[in-house]
Structure 1
Amino acid sequence: MELSGSFAGRWAPDASVFLIGMRGVGKTTIGLMLSGVLSRPFLDADRIFESAVGVPLKQFVDEHGFSAFRDRETLLLQQLVREHARGKVIALGGGVVEREENRRIIEQYAASRGPVIRILRDPNAVLAFLSAPAKDKSTWTDLQESYAAVWQRRIPWYESCSNLAFVAPSPDSSAHPSLALKAAEDAIKRFAERLVGVPSPRSLRALAATRRTTALVLPLSLVDELDRPRLEAATRGVDAIEIHIAQTLDISTARFDFGTHIALLVGRLRTMTRLPLLYRPSRQAYSAHDASTYFQLIKLGFELACEVVDVSLNLQDEELATLLEKRSPASQIMLSSTLDPSQSWGDDGARAVYARAARLGANVIRLEKAVASVDENLELRRWQTEIAASDGPPLIGLGHGDTARLSLLLNSLLTPVRLPGAAENNVDKVVLFTADELRHTSRLAGLDHPRCVHLVGTTAAATTLGQRLLDAGFRVDITQTPPLLTDVFSHPDSRAVVHLALIPQPSSGPPVPKLSLLARNATRHDVVLCLRRSSAALSSRPQEAGVYVAENTLALAVSHLVVKHLSPVNAISTRSTAILLGVPTLSAGIVPELLAAVHHLGIRRIAAVGCSSDALERLRNFEVLRTVVVTASLDEAVPALRDEFGAGSPTVIISCDADPPDLPPVLAHAVAPGIVVHLPEARLPSSGARQVENQPRTIDGWLYVGSVELSREREDRLYEVVTGYPV
């Protein structure tokens, strides 16, 4: 589900990105990663300073004093903004904000010229990092002032100088050093996608016109208590997460200043889920005496690039206009208010509130009120239907009290649902269902016509997928006979039937001729052919057939596993190489799928080691690969790749051997180990084959991924291909 826009348009697409933040938060590491993702040069202001003066920073300060250092630092900052304002990623020194003149330069750049990102990290983790011995972490060798005191003094300066904030995940100390920063790499990649613009974003209005969507209400105070498995279970079938910030609870219990406290929790949530975030400070937290705190909360939501930010209509127009000037183009605005009990849904007073929100630039409007009768819920639904037929922003309408629960059933856009097992079942007087309760009750009441997926095929994959689709709120039909397309797309509810998926038996050929024509680099199994309609077609051309989409789930799964686990040190580049190991004659048909995975990763040079002649023939016919070298053993592969391509050690090995491969010293002792994807099911198992462990394991720094995780990944890719929802 894509909710957001992008930062593109607020400044030039190639505007340089400046990074600011305390020493030890990871500006250099994040900057290097960001420069790789954006394909831009990285400049470190401290290194440029040292190159210019010819001595380390500390020596310069010892010889000339801090005043001279700050003078030279200001000149360097002016030069960077003047000469490198386009196409760069630039990390500034932690103390650059100490001088008012520097702050003014950075603030002016952030106001109109380009992104300035303040890097945040748990202060306790930073202190532990700085205290660790024998690490070349910084030019400074001692702290002349306590870190906490410096942090507190600089917090408002970092905030005033930046227009974005990024929470750097702490390295995983249990992982191999080359994999310790994997979480940070994943986070910066997603942030960078937003920085340069997300293609074809879906608006809230488009979502409201096509299907029901829900948002899990998650009090921010619970984020520390959740782990990834529990969150994944709670968000199954949910479209977004509504972060509920109760000021009196979250801020009063903060370990640090409230902005850092909230940002760190949002950052942790980002590492556990890819769902869009609806950032919603409690309206009860706002009053005249703490308006500045509320404004800071909203500004923080914009800076963290939350996909939707809720802003209270209780503010005056002038206050709202000032606040919305701070909005990030990456965030859509939800303006919300609670109607007076004397007002009715759709009366002149309610319409005036809606019109004001629309005039102020809301992407979506959320109104609530106390509901005393069932008829009031029906009035709300009639008004929502009227708005849906107009050009205005969509309306989320919610009632207070048990009688108002019908409003949750009738609402179709980002309906709030509660966390299963939560002690409280209401938020801001709205009595909530869980996602499962909402779906079940809607169906019993005949209010919900779930999207339908026709699965053609009786394989285990179809059965497993069918159950997952049911859990996510789809209607599923599993059959061996493809239905007539006219029957599929002439359903009376144009929003009900969405997809037709053809899942062939592993031992059979394609179920329809179009499968072999549409599937890219595909063999007869692992190919899913979908007939899918776009949201626009669903709403405007309900009788029109969809388009065929064919994908190979094995190829997608292998490429996703590599991206998920490959060290940031080994980021795929034009010099990357891979090894295809031990493909037997019986499994020669799998070669196009494995090569499709390698090609999807961007690798064009591979070594084929110990493969059958049939497999080699198929491999050489794969036109998109530039060159293939053939060797008999892994020991020969590395020098062969180096001699043929001038490339370094391969970082991806896809093995079809019955046993996990034993790596030769030239690979096992590599500075930056890679990943081994082991596919023993590609051949008949040998009697002495070692069992593949259920969980990925690390040997000599190389991550071995076996059948169990690959199977899970294939299920995820199958779900993604059929539904169109990213997993």
Structure 2
Amino acid sequence: MNVRDLVNFETPPESSPLGGQSSSNHMLSIPPSRAPSPTNAPTFSRRASIVLIGMRGVGKTTLGTIASKALGWELLDTDLIFEQQQGVPIAKFISTYGWEEFRKVESKHLETILPNNLTGKVIACGGGVVELERNRAILQRFRDHGPVIHVLREKDAVLAYLRDSPQYPPFLHETAKEAWDRREQLFRDCCSFEFVSLTMPVPPAPKGFKDIITPDQTFALKPVEEDFFRLLRFIHGVDTKKVTLSPRGPRSYSLSLTFEDVRQAIPVLDELSTGIDLWELRVDLLSSCEPTFLAFQIAILRHHSPLPILFTLRTVSQGGRYPDVSPQNEKAVKIQAWLHHHALRLGVEYIDLEVVMPESTFTSVVEKKGNTIVMGSYNDWAGTLNWASPQTRHLFEKMTQLHVDIVKIVGAAKSFEDNMALRQFAGLVERSSTPLLAINVGPEGKISRALNPILSPVSHPLLPRAAGPGQISFYETQSILYLTGLLPAKKYYVFGRPIGHSMSPTIHNTAFSYLGLPHSYSIKETATVGELKEVMLDPNFGGASVTIPYKVEIMPYMQHISRHARVIGAVNTVTSIPGGGLSGDNTDWRAIKSCLTRSLTPANVVTSSTTALVLGAGGTCRATLYALHQIGVINIFIWNRTRRRAELLAEEFSKLDPLLRIRVLDRLDVQLPIRPLPTMIISTIPAAAPTSSELIDVGLRIEHLSDAGGVAIELGYERRITRLLSLAQEKRDQGIAWAVVEGIEILLEQGYEQFKIWTGRRAPARKVQEKVLEVYEQRRGLQSPPMQ
């Protein structure tokens, strides 16, 4: 696999914001597309070229530059190609020959460029490419082969840019706004997907800078890169954000956003996401269903949260606000269908289809769903559904025959017994291959929400309104499960010596408490690893963090060890296996990898020439080398006081990959024999001597840090500012994009990974970080000894 493919389209390790015309009217003012996009007709090759279309100024060239660097593909900008082949700027060509001639020549270029560049290219098209019908036909044919992505940006920002741009003469017979409004539907007729490139504050390029994007600008555009590659991974099925759905597997939860505008939720989005696995965007509750408004709503939600999104347009008869649609009302049917196809074009991970909608709409969306998961839903707000009747079983079977991925049936509880009937029904259909989400609404139905194991809808006090009657919070569901014996309290520990000042209890106990989980976490310090056996045999034992000196010694006690931990040669996470036995894993490398990939800018995407420098050759160096290898770095240098120890480590890890080259440095206080200079430097050694507060100087100098920018990571957290991090900060002060990752951040990341392994839930990162930093600063104020 190509190194860039490994970085940007990585398979899971175990297996190898608001533009547009807003309106309070829920009915669209534009007609449905005359040529609906075949959103999933082909399965694209990962090498299929990517075509970007959209208005001038939306950032197609910038986005194309980011994508081409990340993928290692050539960027073809049709405007630049036009100027190169005609020998004059576009503005001069148009002023000389006119717009009509420009469009003819542009079309000839398009007829050549697209068919001859089917793979390995990012192609950014001119803003008016959709003006000619033959161009639209070319784009529509291409989308059967590869993704054609309509790029949007905030309308006011783009129009301001067009007013000030000297590149083109004014539009012919219309304003830029009129051209935008007219072309918007033409772009949607031609695209297979739509991407909103949210405007980021980007520093200006210095005078005389010739490249398209400076390193500092790429750092500012990192969020755009992340959002765009989230869409590409979804398109190619590499990461579709699927939630594990099993009646006997980990429980999953969803939360309906009931805001009129997603922007209102941003300040509390982190708190709202506590414990949940999926957002339900209640489109019928938004202030508008206008397509560009919807595109920005979804883009904003994605930008602020990694969770998948369920697109729901709930009709009045099904408990929502969108008007009911009669099959006889052709216009209403077309609009409802268009909105659901628009959701597919936006790349939503889940979509809700009401079983009462016109069958033609239902089947057309299922046929075009691509990697989107379809939830077929039936909501009985009248209270006539009887869980024990044959009609309910027939309803379930009818929905499965419609080829949905999840069946959702909502009844209304009049008594507690209705919840028992629901669970009996769920048991009858449990063997079906189609997962069932089944709940009862109303006060008497609250228990059904807690007992439902699949995407159970929960509420939150910070929502403007509940999505349905009888909803309870995630915290309340955990309390109910604990009181009914379905969530037993587990004991978790940190194993090691000395560990008196470990921050791990603060991390995990804070997370347990905030999520309402009944577990506990404490310190277990022993003289030998053998003394831990009795603790691990306790039936209430849930798992443990393992630190020095037991990361290797504890491995013989494991019945299962992950592939990652075996390669690294150390276990830092122990988990009790349901039914008996212990499993060992390593989350150190995951934390390092996460911080590296999050901090690297698009300008420093990993290539075959990327270099990394690792300081130290101890146990954490092993996890560091593995993390670097996992993101595709093949040129690694190690410095260690004891050269022989570094050499043995280099010899061992070089066997992982024939392309991997790990070399050992003798000294750091000289000009480094590394070309290009490292864009990743990771220190695995203590920042200060154990008996002194002075920072250890191993000889690293500011000239050793690349002028192309990079990321500096400190694994030790006994000091927040170290020699390495101060050098990186000095580079930042010079305007060079070096990211700084403190040891406390690595500690938190590996703890979050452990928490997810043990509980199946994401840790409430912001709350945990706040508490850990509070305790950390208190201990520093007391001048406590170094923490493990």
Per the alignment, residue 241 of structure 1 pairs with 279
Mapped to 1, the partners of 2:73 and 2:725 lie a distance apart of 44
**Per-residue CA distance 1:360-407 (angstroms, 9 max, x = gap):** 21111222233322222222221112111234x222223332222233
Per the alignment, residue 461 of structure 2 pairs with 420
Which runs of structure 2 are paired with 1:361-376 in the superposition (5 Å)? 361-376=403-418
Q: Kindly provide the amino acid, as one letter, of the partner of residue 605 in structure 2.
A: A
Which runs of structure 2 are paired with 1:338-353 in the superposition (5 Å)? 338-339=379-380, 341-353=383-395
Which runs of structure 2 are paired with 1:467-486 in the superposition (5 Å)? 467=509, 468-469=511-512, 471-472=514-515, 476=519, 480=524, 481-482=532-533
Per the alignment, residue 528 of structure 1 pairs with 572
Per the alignment, residue 716 of structure 1 pairs with 752
1:551 to 583, 586, 589: 586
User: 1:82/1:173 Cα in 2 relative to 1: closer, same or farther (>3 Å)?
Assistant: closer
**1:38: how far off?**
4.5
Give unmatched runs, 5+ long, in structure 2: 1-11, 13-38, 204-214, 317-321, 525-531, 655-659, 689-694, 764-788
**1:92: how far off?**
1.8
Which runs of structure 2 are paired with 1:147-546 in the superposition (5 Å)? 147-173=176-202, 176-198=216-238, 206-227=245-266, 230-246=268-284, 249-251=286-288, 258-284=290-316, 285-288=322-325, 290-327=332-369, 329-339=370-380, 341-391=383-433, 393-424=434-465, 426-427=466-467, 429-444=468-483, 446=484, 448-449=486-487, 455=493, 457=495, 460=502, 462-464=504-506, 466-467=508-509, 468-469=511-512, 471-472=514-515, 476=519, 480=524, 481-482=532-533, 501-508=543-550, 510-514=552-556, 519-520=565-566, 522=568, 527-531=571-575, 543=579
2:440 match: secondary structure = strand
User: 1:649/1:92 Cα in 2 relative to 1: closer, same or farther (>3 Å)?
Assistant: same
1:594 to 602, 621, 624: 624
**1:665: how far off?**
6.6
Mapped to 2, the partners of 1:512 and 1:208 lie a distance apart of 34
User: 1:374/1:129 Cα in 2 relative to 1: closer, same or farther (>3 Å)?
Assistant: same
Per the alignment, residue 677 of structure 1 pairs with 713
Mapped to 2, the partners of 1:49 and 1:146 lie a distance apart of 24
Mapped to 1, the partners of 2:197 and 2:222 lie a distance apart of 11
User: 1:168/1:611 Cα in 2 relative to 1: closer, same or farther (>3 Å)?
Assistant: farther
Give unmatched runs, 5+ long, in structure 1: 253-257, 489-496, 534-541, 643-647
Per the alignment, residue 537 of structure 1 pairs with none
Q: Kindly provide the amino acid, as one letter, of the partner of residue 372 in structure 1.
A: K
| TM-score for both structures, normalised by structure 2 | 0.75
Mapped to 1, the partners of 2:724 and 2:46 lie a distance apart of 52
User: 1:447/1:163 Cα in 2 relative to 1: closer, same or farther (>3 Å)?
Assistant: farther
**Per-residue CA distance 1:36-87 (angstroms, 9 max, x = gap):** 4445433222223333333322232222222122122222222234322344
Q: Which one is further off, 394-403 or 456-465? A: 456-465
Q: Which one is further off, 317-326 or 612-621? A: 612-621
Q: Contact conserved, 2:310 with 2:351, CA < 8 A, in 1?
A: yes
2:767 pairs with 1:705: no
Q: Contact conserved, 1:182 with 1:568, CA < 8 A, in 2?
A: yes
Mapped to 2, the partners of 1:45 and 1:129 lie a distance apart of 20
Which runs of structure 2 are paired with 1:121-132 in the superposition (5 Å)? 121-130=153-162
Q: Contact conserved, 1:635 with 1:666, CA < 8 A, in 2?
A: no
User: 1:322/1:627 Cα in 2 relative to 1: closer, same or farther (>3 Å)?
Assistant: closer
Mapped to 2, the partners of 1:650 and 1:146 lie a distance apart of 49
**Per-residue CA distance 1:484-521 (angstroms, 9 max, x = gap):** 98986xxxxxxxx9x95343343446452437987356
Q: Kindly provide the amino acid, as one letter, of the partner of residue 263 in structure 2.
A: D
**Per-residue CA distance 1:324-357 (angstroms, 9 max, x = gap):** 3342x12111121223533322424333433332
Per the alignment, residue 102 of structure 2 pairs with 69
Per the alignment, residue 769 of structure 2 pairs with none
**1:178: how far off?**
3.5
2:625 match: secondary structure = helix
**1:532: how far off?**
7.0
Mapped to 2, the partners of 1:334 and 1:528 lie a distance apart of 39
Q: Contact conserved, 1:35 with 1:88, CA < 8 A, in 2?
A: yes
2:653 pairs with 1:653: no
Mapped to 2, the partners of 1:187 and 1:456 lie a distance apart of 36
Q: Which one is further off, 350-359 or 476-485? A: 476-485
Which runs of structure 2 are paired with 1:603-682 in the superposition (5 Å)? 603-608=633-638, 611=641, 613=643, 616-617=646-647, 620-624=650-654, 625-628=660-663, 630=665, 632-633=667-668, 636-637=671-672, 640-642=673-675, 648-655=676-683, 656=685, 657-658=687-688, 659=695, 666=703, 670=707, 672-679=708-715, 681=717
Mapped to 1, the partners of 2:153 and 2:430 lie a distance apart of 43
Q: Kindly provide the amino acid, as one letter, of the partner of residue 319 in structure 1.
A: T
User: 1:692/1:232 Cα in 2 relative to 1: closer, same or farther (>3 Å)?
Assistant: farther
Mapped to 2, the partners of 1:575 and 1:155 lie a distance apart of 42
**1:545: how far off?**
5.6
2:614 match: secondary structure = strand
Q: Contact conserved, 1:696 with 1:704, CA < 8 A, in 2?
A: no
Q: Contact conserved, 2:680 with 2:712, CA < 8 A, in 1?
A: yes
**1:275: how far off?**
1.3
**1:620: how far off?**
4.3
Mapped to 1, the partners of 2:129 and 2:361 lie a distance apart of 31
Mapped to 2, the partners of 1:388 and 1:521 lie a distance apart of 39
Mapped to 2, the partners of 1:635 and 1:287 lie a distance apart of 75
**Per-residue CA distance 1:445-464 (angstroms, 9 max, x = gap):** x1633595754637535524
**1:572: how far off?**
1.1
Q: Kindly provide the amino acid, as one letter, of the partner of residue 543 in structure 2.
A: A
**1:239: how far off?**
1.4
1:78 to 88, 97, 111: 111
2:546 match: secondary structure = coil
Per the alignment, residue 536 of structure 1 pairs with none
Q: Which one is further off, 352-361 or 504-513? A: 504-513
2:609 pairs with 1:575: yes
Mapped to 2, the partners of 1:176 and 1:202 lie a distance apart of 34
User: 1:317/1:346 Cα in 2 relative to 1: closer, same or farther (>3 Å)?
Assistant: farther
1:250 match: secondary structure = coil
**1:594: how far off?**
3.4
1:457 match: secondary structure = strand
1:207 match: secondary structure = coil
**Per-residue CA distance 1:537-563 (angstroms, 9 max, x = gap):** xxxxx75767x442151x332332121
User: 1:570/1:107 Cα in 2 relative to 1: closer, same or farther (>3 Å)?
Assistant: same
Q: Contact conserved, 2:717 with 2:742, CA < 8 A, in 1?
A: no
| TM-score for both structures, normalised by structure 1 | 0.81
Q: Percent identity?
A: 24
Mapped to 1, the partners of 2:296 and 2:364 lie a distance apart of 26
Q: Kindly provide the amino acid, as one letter, of the partner of residue 600 in structure 2.
A: L
Mapped to 2, the partners of 1:667 and 1:109 lie a distance apart of 47
**1:654: how far off?**
2.3
Q: What is the RMSD computed on CA atoms of the aligned residues? A: 3.9
Mapped to 1, the partners of 2:391 and 2:50 lie a distance apart of 46
**1:435: how far off?**
0.8
User: 1:82/1:422 Cα in 2 relative to 1: closer, same or farther (>3 Å)?
Assistant: closer
Q: Which one is further off, 652-661 or 699-708? A: 652-661
**Per-residue CA distance 1:182-224 (angstroms, 9 max, x = gap):** 10111222222222223798676x4334132110111253521
2:88 pairs with 1:55: yes
